Amino acid sequence: MSPPRLRITVRGAVQGVGFRPFVWRLAHELGLSGHVRNEGGCVVIEAEGDRTSELWARLHREQPPAARVEAIGWESIPARDETGFIIETSGHGSAPAVVPDMATCADCLRDVLDPASRFHRYPFTNCTRCGPRYSIIERIPYDRATTTMAAFVMCVACRAEYENPADRRFHAQPTACAACGPRLSLCDAAGAAVEADDVIGVAVGALGDGKIVALKGLGGFQLLVDATNTGAIRRLRDLKRRPHKPLAVMVRDVDAACRWAHVNDIESALLQSPAAPIVLLKYRSGVLPDGIAPDLLEVGLMLPTTPLHHLLLRAVEFPVVCTSGNLSDEPICTDNAEAVARLGRIADLFVMHDRPIRRAVDDSVARVIDDAPQVLRLARGYAPLVLPMRGLPALATGAHVKNALAVCVGGRAILSQHIGDLENTLAIDAMRATARDLQDFFDIAPARVACDLHPDYASTHFAQDIGLPVTPVQHHVAHALACMAEHGLQRLLVVVWDGTGLGSDGTIWGGEFLLMHGARWQRAAHLQPFHLPGSDAAARDARRALAGLRGESVFNAPVCTSAGRLFDGFAALLDLCGAQTYEGQAAMRLEAAAAPGVDEAYDLPLVDGVLDWRSMLEAASVENVTGVAAAKFQNALVEGIVAVAREVGESTVALTGGCFQNRYLTERALRRLREEGFTPVIPRRVPPNDGGIALGQLAAVTGEGDVPRGPWTH
Ligand code: ZN
Ligand code: ZN
Ligand code: FE
């Protein structure tokens, strides 16, 4: 027996992903009358007819691929006896449809490859289930006129699809075709136009010749070279001033990914998801060309994200290195002229187009760990990330490296896309611009600003310049709160291990065990402190960390408890790394060096809340086999985590901070904590590294009003 009329409310990421046309098709199929509309961030359906219960059931089973339904509810309302089912257009009062960019869907790829389709070989084909979103939206409400597609007037055929609710391109704001949409163009390193009928063909030829091609992707320029040409890779590394940091590679499809790496079902789904991130995968031995991921076990692979990438990858015979279009630490280029100015020294050829990129969104990085995806760099496809969070409107300015910002408004926290390391003025300018953009886009006037406790971070200076009340938040507390905000956790032990962050006692922290109760916290345990010679310079040379661990007396050596520097020191001890050319290099080499199947661990005694690694230093220095030492060292750290968890006695234990990007450490800690009866959690949608800090800072200043904040004790 169906009720007279159902009002169904669907909550989650349901706007701008083709949800209304999807409901429209279902309603027509089931012969229902009524309407569907966007309302305050939800999709609201009113439907009547004999088969409304089928509609309810199918909404639970089926949904558009990019939709993410968080809650769905219904109520019964009086019948209206209408005929027909319509899509109501969005009112201007409706809440923002904030949707990340989406990789080309299977249907659009079919159109692009079909000689009979009017989208055949059109590099900007998209529909309601795929294509650019956040990277092209000027302001909300999301409409053609408020995107960078506004200047392109739809042709008759595109307009007809756009207005047809039965069509997949119904209200697909960026839809376009070769007759009416953006076009490719080519220019040389000096910015001079290169005439070509077949732009993609020229680019393919250049890649085949070992040239470096700068290509305007979805959220910014990328630099491409033939991933099997070691000379071309070396040249790219030299010009980009990036000697060792692993390079991401784009492959044409999952089969191609499987030739280079081990890909399980979850990893395959992640590669093919609408976000289409760079996925870190264990590569097959002996297949990876030199220079892609030196001395590591994993390689970052991604699939084509736009029809342009698909066409290119289908025309070349090789995988293609696909790295951000920037110099080492600078933000990614988005503007055509800017790209030539900044990348002209690196690229031999530019593949551009005339669809402007409104905001820079770099490629995301993710991996599968413990049978589920984890985002390591939140950008294209994932940003902006929206999570529930109550509190006053606020802005959080994040940390120093992997900077990202966050705002709180209307019961939601919004974490920005990855901005970068604040090591140069371009990056700092990008941070300031992103802060303005977030405030304009989400229409918020922050009442307060949260920043890191460190007084010298550029993000802290920026927070202080705004002229609003500023709340500094301890770095590792922010890491913990970010993980808690994502999972809705209140009381737990959080293991926060990273490089460095200023502690509330004025020393440098980084090997912390924080007992959290809401926004209140207590430092339950930490690593044995040591002097870190040269402070920040120590991060660039693992041998300095080793000197610190050995207690060699030096000037300018602040005290720290950094787990990251402990890894560095052991990597230097085992002769795995000296000078580091990118953050985490020594720790990554140590992880890669660990011999599989080693179950023993060095002693790591826990005395009065201090994990003392000093005897480990002796033991590791007399170990005969490097791989065994690397394994026993990391196993010991895992046993240290278990020991602290036992002593603290909270059932839930979270693992976060940059050190838990280490797969060996994280997987083993998860397993051992479960064996001991704990419930371990890790961040999934929020990066465990400093990319998630802003969210935690926000939680610290917007958290439940009556809970006293700050430490119980030091
Ligand atoms: Zn599509
Ligand atoms: Zn058209
Ligand atoms: Fe950190």
Q: Which ligand is nearest to the CA of 511?
A: 3
Order of strands, edge to edge, in the sheet holding 394-396? 385-388, 412-415, 406-409, 394-396, 448-452, 470-473
Measure 327 CA to ligand 3 centroid, in angstroms: 23
At residue 93, the pLDDT reads 44
At residue 118, the pLDDT reads 98
For residue 94, pLDDT over 70 is answered with no
Measure 270 CA to ligand 3 centroid, in angstroms: 26
Share of the chain above pLDDT 70, in %: 96
Measure 160 CA to ligand 2 centroid, in angstroms: 10
Measure 177 CA to ligand 2 centroid, in angstroms: 4
For residue 524, pLDDT over 60 is answered with yes
For residue 714, pLDDT over 70 is answered with no
Q: Spell out the alpha helix ranges (H) of 261-404.
A: 265-271, 307-315, 336-343
When the pLDDT of each residue in the chain is averaged and rounded to a whole number, the result is 93
Return the closest-CA partner of residue 512 out of 573, 441, 562, 461.
Answer: 562
Q: Rounded to an integer, what distance in angstroms lies between the CA atom of residue 91 and that of residue 35?
A: 14
Measure 309 CA to ligand 3 centroid, in angstroms: 34
Per-residue b or e along 270-283, where b marks 16 or more CB atoms closer than 10 Å to that residue's CB? bbbbbbbbbbbbbb
Q: Tokens 């200043």 label which residue?
A: 701
> Mean pLDDT, to the nearest integer, of 256-264?
98
CA dihedral sign, ordered 115, 116, 122, 126 = negative
Confidence of residue 706 (pLDDT cuts 50, 70, 90): very low
User: Which amino acid does the sequence have at 450?
Assistant: A
- Token reading at 312: 């290119």
- Token reading at 594: 């660990």
Measure 125 CA to ligand 2 centroid, in angstroms: 10
Q: Which ligand is nearest to the CA of 403?
A: 3
At residue 705, the pLDDT reads 41
Share of the chain above pLDDT 90, in %: 84
Confidence of residue 65 (pLDDT cuts 50, 70, 90): confident
> Mean pLDDT, to the nearest integer, of 537-549?
88
At residue 534, the pLDDT reads 78
Helices (H) and strands (E) in the chain, counts: 20, 31
pTM to 2 decimals? 0.93
Measure 237 CA to ligand 1 centroid, in angstroms: 35
pLDDT digits (tens, 9 = 90+) for 593-631: 999 999 999 999 999 999 999 999 999 999 999 999 999
Measure 216 CA to ligand 1 centroid, in angstroms: 19
Measure 111 CA to ligand 2 centroid, in angstroms: 14
Q: Which ligand is nearest to the CA of 126?
A: 1
Q: Which ligand is nearest to the CA of 18?
A: 1
Q: Which ligand is nearest to the CA of 584?
A: 3
> Mean pLDDT, to the nearest integer, of 89-98?
56
Measure 106 CA to ligand 1 centroid, in angstroms: 7
Query: Which of the two residues, 140 and 117, has the higher pLDDT score?
Result: 117
At residue 90, the pLDDT reads 64
Q: Rounded to an integer, what distance in angstroms lies between the CA atom of residue 619 and that of residue 603?
A: 9
Q: List the shell of residues around ion ligand 3, using CB closer than 5 Å.
A: 498, 690
CB 569 within 8 A of CB 621: no
Q: Rounded to an integer, what distance in angstroms lies between the CA atom of residue 523 and that of residue 519?
A: 13
Distant-in-sequence, close-in-space partners of 433: CB < 8 Å, separation ≥ 6? none
At residue 97, the pLDDT reads 57
For 710: left if phi > 0, alpha if psi spans -120 to 50, otherwise beta; the answer is: left
Measure 226 CA to ligand 1 centroid, in angstroms: 28
At residue 481, the pLDDT reads 97
Confidence of residue 95 (pLDDT cuts 50, 70, 90): very low
Measure 598 CA to ligand 3 centroid, in angstroms: 29
Q: Which ligand is nearest to the CA of 656?
A: 3
For residue 708, pLDDT over 60 is answered with no
Measure 414 CA to ligand 3 centroid, in angstroms: 19
> Mean pLDDT, to the nearest integer, of 672-678?
98
At residue 277, the pLDDT reads 98
Q: How far, rounded to the nearest angstrom, does the alpha carbon of residue 423 sit from its chain's CA centroid?
A: 20
Measure 176 CA to ligand 2 centroid, in angstroms: 5
At residue 645, the pLDDT reads 98
Q: Rounded to an integer, what distance in angstroms lies between the CA atom of residue 473 and that of residue 492?
A: 19
SS3 sequence of 491-503: EEEEEEEEEEEEC
Q: List the shell of residues around ion ligand 2, using CB closer than 5 Å.
A: 155, 158, 177, 179-180
Measure 402 CA to ligand 3 centroid, in angstroms: 9
Q: Spell out the alpha helix ranges (H) of 622-662.
A: 626-648
For residue 435, pLDDT over 50 is answered with yes
At residue 2, the pLDDT reads 57
Q: Spell out the alpha helix ranges (H) of 211-283.
A: 230-240, 254-260, 265-271
At residue 143, the pLDDT reads 86
Measure 118 CA to ligand 2 centroid, in angstroms: 9
- Of 153-157, 499-503, 536-540, 709-713, least confident by mean pLDDT is 709-713
Measure 231 CA to ligand 1 centroid, in angstroms: 37
